[in-house]
Amino acid sequence: MNSCHSRFDALSELDPRDNIQVERMIIMTKYVCGICGYVYDPALGDPDNGVDPGTPFDKVPADWVCPICGADKDSFSPE
């Protein structure tokens, strides 16, 4: 009679929270106006111009312009 014992100890640690944090960081990226230096902060949005707080720059309407100097979205770059 033969008996064979094999044993595998496999531990995998995956933490899905890491991904969520990365996404949150991308969403909360601030954008700076290249003309006047105004900073768009996604946490604050631009309620005076119809952009709710928590809106990532990505989701700001294409016709939104800098509230200070009137530059369009193309003039903004990530901080």
Q: For residues 47 and 56, give the distance between their C-alpha atoms in angstroms, rounded to a whole number.
A: 13
Positions in 22-41 near Zn ion (CB under 5 A): 33, 35-36, 38
> In the complex with Zn ion, which residue's Cβ is closer, 40 or 55?
40
Is residue 65 a contact point for Zn ion (CB under 5 A)?
Answer: no
> In the complex with Zn ion, which residue's Cβ is closer, 24 or 61?
61
What residue type is assigned to position 78 of the chain?
Answer: P
Supply the minimum distance, in Å, between the C-beta of residue 38 and Zn ion: 4
Residue owning tokens 């595998």: 8
Note the residues at the interface with Zn ion (CB under 5 A): 33, 35-36, 38, 66, 68-69, 71
